[in-house]
Structure 1
Amino acid sequence: MAAGTNSGSPNTDVFHIIATTRAMRRLKAEPVPRELITQIIQAGICAPNGGNAQNWRFLVVEDPIVKATVQAYYRRAFDEVVRPLHLSTPPPPGTSNDEYSRQLSSVEYLTDHIHEAPVWIVPCQDTSSDTRSAGASIYPAVQNMLLAARALGLGATLTTRHLLFQNETEAALGLPSGTHSYAILPIGWPRGRFGPVRRGVTSQVAYLNRWGAPYPSDARPSSETG
Structure 2
Amino acid sequence: MDFFEVASSTPTMRRFLDRPIPDAELIKILETANMAPSGSNAQPWEFVVVRDAAARREIQRLYESVWGPYKDSAIIRGRTTLSPRAVKALKTGDEFAAQLAIVPVHVVVFLDRPKMRVERGSAADLFNFGATYGSVFPAIELMMLASRALGVGTAMTTMLTSKEAETKALLGVPEEYQLIALVPMGYPADAFKRPMRKPVFPRLHDERWTRAWPTPVAPPDK
* TM-score of Structure 1 vs Structure 2, range by shorter chain: 0.7 to 0.9
User: How does the TM-score come out when normalised to structure 2?
Assistant: 0.83
The Cα shift of 1:62 comes to 0.7
What SS does the corresponding residue of 1:168 show, helix, strand or coil? Answer: helix
Letter in 1 for 2:111: Q
In structure 2, the residue matched to 1:72 is 61
The Cα shift of 1:212 comes to 4.5
Counterparts of 1:1-226 in structure 2 under 5 Å? 12-88=1-77, 97-128=83-114, 129=118, 130=120, 131=125, 132=129, 133-218=131-216
Letter in 2 for 1:197: P
Structure 1 stretches of 4+ with a deviation exceeding 6 A read: none
What SS does the corresponding residue of 1:137 show, helix, strand or coil? Answer: coil
Letter in 2 for 1:120: H
In structure 1, the residue matched to 2:220 is none
CA distance in 1, matches of 2:210, 2:2: 33
1:163-183 deviation per Cα after TM superposition (whole angstroms, max 9, x unaligned): 122222222222112112211
The Cα shift of 1:135 comes to 1.1
The Cα shift of 1:134 comes to 1.2
CA distance in 2, matches of 1:126, 1:77: 24
1:186-221 deviation per Cα after TM superposition (whole angstroms, max 9, x unaligned): 011100000101111113333232234323235xxx
The Cα shift of 1:82 comes to 2.6
Contact 1:22 1:196 in 2 (8 A): no
User: How does the TM-score come out when normalised to structure 1?
Assistant: 0.82
Aligned Cα RMSD in Å?
A: 2.1
Letter in 2 for 1:103: A
CA distance in 2, matches of 1:204, 1:166: 38
Contact 2:11 2:145 in 1 (8 A): no
* Length, aligned pairs only: 202
CA distance in 2, matches of 1:213, 1:111: 44
CA distance in 1, matches of 2:143, 2:74: 28
What SS does the corresponding residue of 2:134 show, helix, strand or coil? Answer: helix
Letter in 1 for 2:132: A
> Alpha carbons of 1:163 and 1:139: their partners in 2 closer, same or farther (altered >3 Å)?
same
